[in-house]
Amino acid sequence: MSLASYISKAEEVSSNVQAVRRAIETYSEVLRESLRKYGEIVNLRTYGRYVFVGDIHGSLNDLKEILERYSREQLARGEVALLFLGDYIDRGEHQLEVLLTLLEIKVDYPESVFLLLGNHEGVNMIEPSPHDFPDELIARYLLRDGLEVYRHIVEEVFAYLHVAAYLRDSFLAVHGGLPVSSYRKAQSIREYLLGAEDHVVKETLIEVLWNDPIESNEEGRPSPRGAGMLFGRPVTEWVTKTLNVKLVIRGHEPCIYGYKFNHGFRVLTLFSRRGPPYFNPKAAYLDLDLSDKNWPKYVRETKYIHLL
């Protein structure tokens, strides 16, 4: 059965505020367990297919088109792992349904589905980028219940999302980009992405969620977004060499064709929703088969990039 069937489950849950409250408790338990088992930086199996999906921003139609192409059986057998790169909410018309659909799939297949944190999924230590998610919830459940559901989602769901996915010799996936401040200093991937071995440094996490690549030989410069940095080619060079990865996969930036490459095909951006307010005519996701030894070449040739 296609994964798009989870959309009707999400619609059913969202139609009743009590059902949403109960579902959030279940999601929170499943996400906490995933975080306990895999850590902030998910390290997965070294074989099989990985499907990377970029920003959805509340676009249920685009998500549906992607989910229709995969089945519950593929997740159950561990043939396919789904990695979502964050920014499920903000701006779209069906932010809650998008979020609930992904969480329902996670509940059923916790070892085959991973949700990364986006800059819009603000956790307690980071102010969410101004987003209209509370407005959607208030319009649906009215002021008191709407704000309560919002608070529960931030504290019980967003707080337990993974920050990155990493597979040595293969890829590193984050929402925004590569931090400039911890580059060349860090002794481990955790220190590089989270700032320290035993806690999370807010400034470094902000960079992971907000940074964008820039085609430049400088290390970095402040981002015009007002948060995070633009990271240059030397940062990508250091990361691919030191952390031993061939490809950095990230979302965060709208692209006309749904994807773009930077830094000599070593940074791939995926944007997986179409239309206003970004007006990109195409959206894209990546279906990577790691059993194929030539996968980096096929990614460059866009053989593994699928368009909507």
Residues designated catalytic = 120
Which range, of 24-32, 106-114, 119-127, 215-223, touches Mn ion by CB under 5 A?
119-127
Q: Please report, to the nearest 10 degrees, the dihedral formed by the alpha carbons of residues 228, 275, 296, 210 taken in order.
A: 10
Does 65 participate in binding Mn ion (rule CB under 5 A)?
no
Residue (166 or 210) nearer to Mn ion, CB: 210
Query: Between residue 4 and residue 43, which ones bind Mn ion under the rule CB under 5 A?
Result: none
Residue (3 or 174) nearer to Mn ion, CB: 174
CA pair distance 213, 234, nearest whole angstrom: 11
Which range, of 147-155, 232-240, 245-253, 297-305, touches Mn ion by CB under 5 A?
245-253
* Pairing of β 284-289 and β 49-53: antiparallel
Does 119 participate in binding Mn ion (rule CB under 5 A)?
yes
CA pair distance 131, 170, nearest whole angstrom: 33
Does 240 participate in binding Mn ion (rule CB under 5 A)?
no
Please, what is the minimum distance in Å from the beta carbon of residue 123 to Mn ion?
14
Phi and psi torsions of 14, nearest 5°: -70, -15
Please, what is the minimum distance in Å from the beta carbon of residue 291 to Mn ion?
31
Cβ atoms of 270 and 285 within 8 Å: the answer is yes
Does 87 participate in binding Mn ion (rule CB under 5 A)?
yes
Cβ atoms of 163 and 41 within 8 Å: the answer is yes
Residue (23 or 207) nearer to Mn ion, CB: 207
Residue (20 or 214) nearer to Mn ion, CB: 214
Q: Please identify which residue in 64, 162, 252, 274 interacts with Mn ion, judged by CB under 5 A.
A: 252
Residue (13 or 99) nearer to Mn ion, CB: 99
Please, what is the minimum distance in Å from the beta carbon of residue 130 to Mn ion?
12
- Where does residue 285 rank: exposed (0-12), middle (13-18), buried (19+ CB within 10 A)? buried
Q: Is the dihedral of CA 188, 192, 194, 196 positive or negative?
A: positive
Please, what is the minimum distance in Å from the beta carbon of residue 13 to Mn ion?
25
Please, what is the minimum distance in Å from the beta carbon of residue 250 to Mn ion?
9
Does 273 participate in binding Mn ion (rule CB under 5 A)?
no
CA pair distance 191, 11, nearest whole angstrom: 40
111: which DSSP letter? T
**Nearest residue to 167 via CA among 48, 58, 257, 268:** 48
CA pair distance 134, 154, nearest whole angstrom: 11
Cβ atoms of 124 and 115 within 8 Å: the answer is no
Residue (55 or 170) nearer to Mn ion, CB: 55
Contact residues toward Mn ion (CB under 5 A) are 87, 119, 252
